[in-house]
Each structure stands twice: as structure tokens, then as C-alpha cells.
Chains A and B, each alone.
Chain A
Amino acid sequence: MDRFTYLRAGDVYTASRAIHSAQTARGSASEETGLDRSGIYLAGGTNVTDYMTLGVLRPTTVVDINRLSAELYSRIDSDAQRLRLGALVRMSHAEGHPAVRQQYPVIRDTLMLAASPQIRNMASLGGNVLQRTRCEYFRGTSWTCNKRTPGTGCAALEGLNRQHAVLGTSDRCIATYAGDFAQALIALDATLTTVGARSGGRTIRFAELHRLPGQTPHIETTLEPGELITYIDVPAGPWTRRSAYVKVRDRESYQFALCSAAVALHMEGSKVREARIALGGIATVPWRARESEAALRGMVLDEAAAAKAADAAFADAHTREHNAFKVPLGKQTIVRALLAAQAMKI
């Protein structure tokens, strides 16, 4: 691990300025490429520390944001319209919160099935959504990787790619977005509040946070340098209570998803008024399966309708040598999640 300067920020503005300063010191050219991670925020550290230890992240300045106002950023508030999660709320806190458990079960499930209890005690929600891929070719600094070191090539394309994505891929990168929580957020149309952007504070749709790899897989989000997520807002809807998450993996616990599906249903009797479906473990970014949702609208939800909707999600899938199974697995995961949500007693 490289040496770094450790700064502890007392408010979000100085935190953001510290990142800007670190990057200014490095020069603006790299800032434009999105590659500049010379200044980096540290919250729970479960992702940042890992990648610093591996030498994937080599910041010169680490800005500790854990002492930002807990009253502001470690709070969970909810009313009839929405759920507001502070970005410094720890995963375990949200997982156990009554409003989350009762009103937003899919959020609870995505948190509960992620990582381990220790990690969930440490990891912040803001950091969670920004977690970086666990692609082993990205993690190991001696492999070629366009995401880690632009222009070097992608070892995963023709390599051991069982873990890798089949949706949202490019010829530069097939690394999977590994998180669970983000699937709930994208399914429920969450929004983010940030500070530190050039324009000051702003609100962005969660669905616009992550960028497809395309030709620039190293640019992973639409956040500007130094921009800091402060709040996550989830609007309440007639689908939020009937929501569930199915996560498929080799181990029963403590493993990233091979495939997962977050679903939320607004039912009218046996008919689907509206469905929300997001997929994890199979795409390069949190993945909203809008084609599947459209296929379900107005349909009686049964095995056949679920299967037809599931097929629609994978029309554009690109498989590789070791991950073709994710197409049939993904379809089955969607069906399983839909039927599980339908069966929920509310």
C-alpha cells in the first residue's frame, strides 16, 4: 500500500474540497478521464481498504468522512411518501430498521443477504452503492484490465469468466457489478442527493448513477470528482411492500450473487398492475429489466407469464465461454422472485 495523507473531515464541504485539492495537485488531465482517484473518501472502508491493500487504489489523500454529522447522515427517516437513508447509515442499521423491514422488504433482503454481519456493521450505504467490481482480473494488479488500467486489454473476455456479466457488457469490459442493495434501489426508482459537484448540491436518479462500461470502463459513475453522496431517497409506492429479493450463489451465505433478482409488484387481484424488476450478478451495472416489466403489465401472474417476462430480460445477452449458464439461470431467478413476491402475505 502506498503512503497517504490521512484527513478527517468535519463537514461535507471541507471533505469535498480536500478531494478536489488532492486531485488538483495531481493535475486536471487525469480528472477529465475519470481515472483520478488520488483523493478518496473513506467511510466503512470495506471496499476502499481492500482495494488499497491490493494496490488497485493508490490514493495520496484519504478523507475520512465517518465523523460527518451523524444527525444528518446516519439517520433513517420515513413517512408515507418516502424512505430517506443517510449515506453514512451502516448496512446493518438499515437492515434492522422497522420502516425498512415492514415497508421495503426488498431493501431489507438485499442488505441481509449481502457480505457478512461484520461487514454490514462497517459498510456505509453510500459506499455500498459505489463498491467496485470483484472481478479477479481487476483485483489482481498483474492482469490486464481496462477498468483498472485503461487501454491494457481485458483478461476476462477470453479468460475464466464464470462470474462475469452477460448484460451491459462491451468489448472492453465484462466485469459484474457485485452489489445487492443497488438492485433494490434501481427497482424502486431511488434518487440520490449529493454535494460537491461543480454545480453545488444536486439530486440524481439512482438509475443514472452507474455508467455502462462501453469504451471507458474505468469511468464507473456519473459523479464528479469530489462529489459525495449524502442521502438516498426511496419513494413509497403501491409495489414497495410486495417486494422480494432472490439471490443465487454456490455458498448459502457470504458470497456475491451468481445471479439475483429484486422484484416489486403492484397487484390487482391476480393481475399485475405494475412490476419492478432489477437483476444482479449478471450485468455490468445495477440492471433494471424494463422489458420484463412491460411484458407483465396487465397480465395474470402465473408461471407462463413469469417465464415470458423473464425471457424478455435476456434478449440482448452476450455470453462468454463460462457464463452462458447465467441466461437460463437468470430467467429462472426472475420467475422464482416474481412468484415469491406474489405469494407474500401483506
Chain B
Amino acid sequence: MSVEAPEPASNQGQPAVRLDARIKVTGEARYAADMPLGNVAYGVLVTSEIARGSVQSLHLEAARKVPGVLDIVSYGDVADLKPPDFGGGAYTSLGPLHARDIHHDGQIMALVVAESFQAAEEAASRVTAEYLQQQPSANLDSDGTETVAAVGNVARLKQDPSHGDFQGAFDGAAVRLDATYYTPTQTHNPMELYSTTAVWNDSRLTIYEPTQTIYGLRAEVARQLNMDAGDVRIICPYVGGAFGSKGAVTPRTAIVALAARRLNRPVRCIVSRSQGFTTQPYRAPTRQRVRLGASQDGRIVAFSHEGWELTSRIDNYVVAGTETTTRMYAYGSVASRVSMVRADRQTPSYMRSPPELPYMFGLESALDELAYALQLDPIELRRRNDTAVEPIEGKRFSSRHLMQCYDHAARQFGWGSRNPQPGSMREGDWLIGMGCATAVYPTHIGAAAARVRLSANGRVRVQCASHEIGTGVRTVAGQMAAEQLGVDLSAVTVEMGDSELPPAPVAGGSNSTASVCSAVLMACKQIRTRLFEGISHSGKGPLAGSDPAGMRLVGGTVITGGASQPLAEVFDGLGAAMVEEYAEFIPEGAPADAVRKLYAGHSTLTGGPGGTEVKFAFGAEFVEVRIHARTHEIRVPRMVGTFAAGRIMNPRTARSQLMGGMIWGMAAALLESTELDPRTARTVNRDLQEYYLAVNADTPGVQITMLPEVDPAVNPAGVKGIGELGDVGTNAAVANAVFHATGKRIRTLPIRLEDLLS
């Protein structure tokens, strides 16, 4: 055991090494753009240089003359393609080549295909366009935007959560806070570039593309190409980071497939880092107004959360984090409202903790402000408003160990040594600030299918078209099978990332471990049942006639009572080489046809606040900042997070995810912002030079603890999702620490040193 491989607490699995660890350190892991193919042609996108208007003419002649150019797909070439289906599998309804209208900066205008990447890139640079340009609206506060309510325009939102008489309670509150917070546009920027490789074999199409939705991609691309989904195969065994960016289908895929069909040869299109900022979705910026009214003893009598989120002109995308924030504490009354602001941008989509990361920044910053107004410790404020029952519908939390997390993390962090007075702590030239905030994430689960095989030689094969985006889902699925079938993990192989395998839900909403493990668990149980009944009825061997219900599989041996028999002999006795079972897991609350829908590309996630109980995972996060007294650089030397998230399948991979999540949240607070020129609605910092991801030197010691928690109500595996939990609240904890260090309350992210200069 080590820091990275924590000793499992109760209700935690072994900190096993990732099944794909070796091939990831040797370069053998094949990501989508690594697949060796013969005769591949290279595609490069040509994208628009305006954000709003239309393309009057596109000049392709010079590009066609570049030696090696094979084909250019552009306007007029896509009559056979259906436009994307927003709300189906696609992030946008915009078919960029179906009309010459430009709806956003960097919109696809053409795909140039050539014998080499170099020739394709040169040719793409020689395409010129004439535009009829209109003045675009770039951001939430730009002229020309249109604001509409989310409820009534977005089907899944039935009403804005509310409870009691907010206005009356707020007006009568002893202490009131009314503050507005801003979160910026952010871009996922997984390290792997977006790419599509399309290969046709007669009428069958194989696509290699990094995706979080194998079946969703298959269905949507088949629909756009007017094909039977069964004739499309998606292969993607490893995904080089995703964070939501690869969860919805983008228009590029079908265009590349079309080019490959026209040329009758494989086409690989790797999207440049810069074009990834505009041809893929992003996290929408938000404006949030938070009002809190409290009694003098710190009980919140009134809470209102209003959010404005940016979306495109053409699609109604909204995250509505009020669904979570309004259920967080024992508010006496609640009001909320979410609006969409339509601007000339591509449609946003989900990015790691889509609703919670921005909305919990507003709530948890406001709570810190309220704590100071009340002269109350911020942990104590949360304790006084802790609740076992959410205030909107009066549902119980299936489990909630928020204050246990706070108490544990506060001890680890040394919160007791903190002088609450802002600006009071300093070491040399560095001001010290300490802040905390709550992490929360709804526990989601979806229908999933899996096939598991137990062979006579004791080897196990698990098949499920889930997505190894770095979460370790391949490893935990293997651990579940090893545990259930009584074999060592080294005897298990797990196949994922291929639409020939049984379907899994989209790798989103932190559902994968719960969903996939539940399906694997089910298949393993079926294997045991078949095997044990077979043994019982076989009439041979030491276990013949024993009650199947008393049998167990342990260490490659079937055991019952005092008798046992090694698996190899069992299989000999049965005359079988293996047992294979296919299982379809449908979670409580999901429709009966959820698996059929899954095959058709649609994941149905349940959980969160939707069932009879509210299913959330919780955590408490503490951050120390150091701010140079002269130049005000903000550094984060250490962070502490304690989480309660049900059964932890693998403490090693779980710790890594929570740690990475906290660093993500820290970078979201201090570094990351996609900046658009307000005059043109075009992204200016479209590279990794000026879009600042945290580097190694920015990342502090991060201390992660996972409290033992048992919650059988969430799902059969008892698992809550953790991939997104870690990054929620960190941004507020950083802002709260900055306030503590300087006395300056910064309500707009990212917090930059100029915000602190006098």
C-alpha cells in the first residue's frame, strides 16, 4: 500500500493496478488515430473566419492544384447526408455544409483530403472565402442576444425548483446577501486531439474515433448517412481524455465518412488543437444571482438562485444547476429560475460536472460570504443547515455524510489553526488564505449490457462497449468479475470500446462504474447459477446433488459445505469448455425498454434527485492559497478533500480521479477561460499557449480520503460516481481562500492577479 494505492477501508475493493497500465506506459495502447491502416488519405478541415453571416463564395481552385490533393468536400456535396439531430446523439442541430449560413466562429466549411497530411494542410490553407458578414453577439452581456426561460423551452425541465414563500422570508431575514457571480466559457481540451478515421468495406463502415458514446455515435452517424446502424462499427479501445467533449456526436464524423466513400479509401481527419475550440462544444459561461436570507443564528430562511446560461441561436442547451443547489441545505424557502441567452456561438454541451461546477461556485461562494456576515465559521454554517431531507419535495437523501466529510477534512487540513480574520495570515512575502466548500454530485446509473465468459482454465473474459476514458472502468469491471467468479484479477481480460460488444451507456454523469459493474455483476450471477445448477444436476463428482444455493466460487474452486472441486474438474465433469452469460441490467426507475433504447444509441440515466430518494455523493474540500504580497500571483500549495461516495471499487483509481478532479476545479478557479473577441465573437486564445491548463508546478499536494459509506439504495453495486465529484466546489474553496488571504471577494472566474492589485 502507498499514498497512490490506499489501504481499502470497509466497503472498498482492492487498489488494483489498472489492467491497461502496461500498454499505456509502453506506447502500445492504440488510440483512435493510432490504428494502422493501409492507403490512408488525410483530411484537414477548413473553418470559417467569421461567426455570423453567410459564405458568398468559397474558392477551392488553388487548393485543388496542390500536389497530392484528392478531393474536397464542401457545400453542395452533402445532399446524401441528414443534418445532425440535436437531442438525439448530436451536440448541435447544425449541419455545417447543408447551408452556407455561418452560425459560429470556426464553423466547418470544407474538408480537404490529400495523400499526405502536409499536402492536405497546405491545400486547406489555400482555400479562401468571401463572406456576407453580420454583427455577431459573443457573450452573455453582448448586444443582440436573446434571453428566454429554460422551462418551457427545454423538455426535461418541468419547472424551476421552488419551495415556500422566498420573497417574504428574504424580506424578513435578519441577515441578507444578494450577489452576482460569473463563470467563464471553458474548453475541455483533452490531451488527445479529436479525430475521425473512416474505412469502408463495400457497404459497411468502420469508424475509429475517440468517443464517450460508442452506440450513440454509431446510431447518429448511421442516421446521418442513411444507413442501417448494423452496418456501422465504431472502434475506440482507449480515449485520450474526454471530460464530456466526446460525449455527443459532432458533424465532422459523417463528413469524413462521406469523403472516404467518395474516394473509396480510408480517410483520417485529425482536428487541430485550434479547430477543436470551435468544431466541438464547450462549457457555457454563466451569470448567477444568489440571494440568501438567514436568521442571526445562521439558519437559512430564504434561498434564491437565478442562472443565465449562454447557448447558440439554434439549440436550447442548458445545464440548470439549480436542480442540485436548491436541494443542498435545509433552506426555509427556495426560489430559482434558469434562463438561456442565445448568442452567435456553437451550441455548448456538457463538460465535467456540467451543472454543479458553475452553480456550486455561486452557492458555495455565497455561503462563505454569509458566514462572514454572520461572523460564523463556514463549516458551522453548513452544519446548522445540514439536512437529511431535501427541501423541494421533502425526499430523503439515500445517504448523506457531508458533515462527516467536513469534520474529517478539517482535521486533515488543520482548519483549527486558521485565523478567520481576512488578511491576517502571512509568511514572508506571501499572504496565506484558507477556504472550504462542499462537493456534491448526483449518483447516476443507466441500463447496460455485458457478456461474461468463465472458461475451464479459470480465465474470465468481460465484454462491454463501455469507454476507457481514463476513469479505470475497464479495471473495475474486471475487479467486479474477479470478485464474483472467485478468480484473480490477472485471470480477467476486459474488452471495451467496440460496437460489436454489448452496449453501455454514454460515459457521462459519472455513471459508468455503477452501470457497467451492475451489468457485470448480473452476468456473473447468471454464470454462477448455471454452473452451480449444472454441477448439482450432473450426477458426477464430489458436489453432485449439493444444493446450488450453498455453492461458492473461491480461488478457482467451487466450494459447498465441506466439499470442493477445482473449476477444471467441474468443467470436465460437465463436458463443457466454458460458461458464457449475457446480462441486461435495467436500473430501478428506468423504462422497461431501456436496453433496447441503448442498442439504438440512447442512454437513459436515472438517479440524482429523480427517484423516491435523492441519491447524491458528497465531499468537503479545503484549499490553501498563497498570494504574493507585491505581485499577487496566486499559488495553491495544498488541498485536502474528503468524500463519501458509496462503495469504492478501487481506491487507487478512485483516489486518482478525485485528485485530478480537485486540480481541475483549482484550474477552473484560477486559470481557465476561453476568451472571445467581443467585436467578432471569435475565440482569441485557441491554443494551449494562452488557454491555461494547470502544469505540474501548479499542482500542490492533494490529500484525498474516501470515507467508508454503504448505500445499497443507489444501485446493486452500491457505487456512487466519482469522476466529477472531485472538481465540484473547488472553485469556490479557492475563491473563499482568496478572500481569506486578501479581504477581496472575487465573484468572477477565473480569479487573476489583476483582480487583487490595488
Task: State if A and B touch, Cβ cutoff 8 Å.
Answer: yes
Is B315 part of the contact surface with A, judged by Cβ < 8 Å? no
Contact stretch, chosen from A84-92, A221-229, A237-245, A327-335 = A327-335
Is B692 part of the contact surface with A, judged by Cβ < 8 Å? yes
- Decide if A3 touches B122 in the complex (CB within 8 Å): yes
- Decide if A159 touches B754 in the complex (CB within 8 Å): no
Within 8 A of B (CB), among A273-328: 325, 328
> Given known contacts A2-B122, A160-B684, A258-B753, is B670 in contact with A250 (CB within 8 Å)?
yes
Complex-state Cα separation, A255 to B670, whole angstroms: 14
Which A residues touch B754, using CB under 8 A? 162, 325, 329
- Nearest to B698 among chain A residues (CB) is A252
CB distance from B754 to the nearest CB of A (A): 4
* B contact residues, range: 35 or more
- Decide if A332 touches B631 in the complex (CB within 8 Å): yes
Is B323 part of the contact surface with A, judged by Cβ < 8 Å? no
- Nearest to B667 among chain A residues (CB) is A251
- Residue among B685, B690, B758 facing the most chain A CB atoms (10 A cut-off): B690
Which B residues touch A328, using CB under 8 A? 757-758
Which A residues touch B679, using CB under 8 A? 158-159
Complex-state Cα separation, A128 to B752, whole angstroms: 28
- Decide if B697 touches A252 in the complex (CB within 8 Å): yes
Tally of contacts, chain A with chain B, CB under 8 A: 85
Which A residues touch B753, using CB under 8 A? 248, 250, 258, 325, 329
- Decide if B697 touches A253 in the complex (CB within 8 Å): yes
- Nearest to A322 among chain B residues (CB) is B754
> Given known contacts A142-B49, A160-B684, A251-B698, is B118 in contact with A336 (CB within 8 Å)?
no
- Decide if A55 touches B125 in the complex (CB within 8 Å): yes
Within 8 A of B (CB), among A142-176: 142, 155, 158-160, 162-163
Is B695 part of the contact surface with A, judged by Cβ < 8 Å? yes
CB < 8 Å neighbour of A329 from B670, B697, B757: B757
Is B39 part of the contact surface with A, judged by Cβ < 8 Å? no
- Decide if A159 touches B684 in the complex (CB within 8 Å): yes
Which B residues touch A335, using CB under 8 A? 630
Which A residues touch B635, using CB under 8 A? 252
Contact stretch, chosen from A69-77, A93-101, A133-141 = A133-141
Interface membership of chain A positions 232-271, coded 1 if the CB is closer than 8 angstroms to chain B and 0 otherwise: 0000000000000010111111111011000000000000
Which A residues touch B115, using CB under 8 A? none
CB < 8 Å neighbour of A249 from B118, B121, B633, B757: B633
- Decide if A251 touches B690 in the complex (CB within 8 Å): no
Complex-state Cα separation, A281 to B553, whole angstroms: 67
Complex-state Cα separation, A252 to B757, whole angstroms: 18
Is A1 part of the contact surface with B, judged by Cβ < 8 Å? yes
> Given known contacts A1-B122, A137-B684, A160-B684, is B692 in contact with A251 (CB within 8 Å)?
yes
Complex-state Cα separation, A162 to B679, whole angstroms: 16
> Given known contacts A1-B118, A2-B122, A160-B677, is B757 in contact with A248 (CB within 8 Å)?
no
- Decide if B631 touches A1 in the complex (CB within 8 Å): no
- Nearest to B635 among chain A residues (CB) is A252
- Decide if A140 touches B757 in the complex (CB within 8 Å): no
- Decide if A333 touches B697 in the complex (CB within 8 Å): no
- Decide if A136 touches B690 in the complex (CB within 8 Å): yes
Complex-state Cα separation, A94 to B274, whole angstroms: 33
- Decide if A155 touches B633 in the complex (CB within 8 Å): no
Which B residues touch A2, using CB under 8 A? 122, 125
- Nearest to A258 among chain B residues (CB) is B753
Chain B interface main SS type: loop
Complex-state Cα separation, A121 to B726, whole angstroms: 36
* A contact residues, range: 35 or more
- Decide if B695 touches A251 in the complex (CB within 8 Å): yes
- Decide if B121 touches A1 in the complex (CB within 8 Å): yes
Which A residues touch B122, using CB under 8 A? 1-3
- Decide if A155 touches B670 in the complex (CB within 8 Å): no
CB distance from A162 to the nearest CB of B (A): 8
Which A residues touch B29, using CB under 8 A? none
Complex-state Cα separation, A217 to B91, whole angstroms: 42
- Decide if A329 touches B631 in the complex (CB within 8 Å): yes
Complex-state Cα separation, A329 to B630, whole angstroms: 8
CB distance from A140 to the nearest CB of B (A): 7
Which A residues touch B631, using CB under 8 A? 246, 248, 259, 329, 332-333, 336
Is B192 part of the contact surface with A, judged by Cβ < 8 Å? no
- Decide if B677 touches A254 in the complex (CB within 8 Å): no
Is B81 part of the contact surface with A, judged by Cβ < 8 Å? no
Is B417 part of the contact surface with A, judged by Cβ < 8 Å? no
> Given known contacts A325-B757, A332-B631, is B675 in contact with A160 (CB within 8 Å)?
yes
- Decide if B630 touches A250 in the complex (CB within 8 Å): no
Interface membership of chain B positions 413-443, coded 1 if the CB is closer than 8 angstroms to chain A and 0 otherwise: 0000000000000000100000000000000
Interface membership of chain B positions 747-758, coded 1 if the CB is closer than 8 angstroms to chain A and 0 otherwise: 000001110011
Which A residues touch B692, using CB under 8 A? 250-251, 255
Interface membership of chain B positions 502-532, coded 1 if the CB is closer than 8 angstroms to chain A and 0 otherwise: 0000000000000000000000000000000
- Decide if B697 touches A250 in the complex (CB within 8 Å): no
CB < 8 Å neighbour of A253 from B118, B429, B695: B695
Interface membership of chain A positions 195-226, coded 1 if the CB is closer than 8 angstroms to chain B and 0 otherwise: 00000000000000000000000000000000
CB < 8 Å neighbour of B671 from A142, A251, A329: A251
CB distance from B34 to the nearest CB of A (A): 21
CB distance from A191 to the nearest CB of B (A): 31
Complex-state Cα separation, A67 to B488, whole angstroms: 57
CB < 8 Å neighbour of A251 from B125, B677, B686, B697: B697
B: which residues have CB within 8 A of A?
49, 118, 121-122, 125, 274, 429, 628, 630-633, 635, 670-671, 675, 677, 679, 684-687, 689-690, 692, 694-698, 752-754, 757-758
Extra 19 A-B pairs, beta carbons < 8 Å, given A136-B686, A251-B692: A1-B121, A55-B125, A136-B687, A139-B687, A140-B274, A155-B677, A248-B753, A250-B671, A251-B671, A251-B695, A253-B695, A253-B697, A253-B698, A255-B692, A325-B754, A325-B757, A328-B757, A329-B632, A332-B630
Q: Can you identify 13 A-B contacts, CB atoms within 8 angstroms?
A: A1-B121, A1-B125, A137-B684, A250-B752, A251-B692, A252-B633, A252-B698, A253-B695, A256-B689, A329-B632, A332-B630, A336-B628, A336-B630
| 7 residue pairs, one from A and one from B, having the closest CB atoms | A325-B754, A252-B697, A142-B49, A253-B697, A332-B630, A248-B631, A160-B684
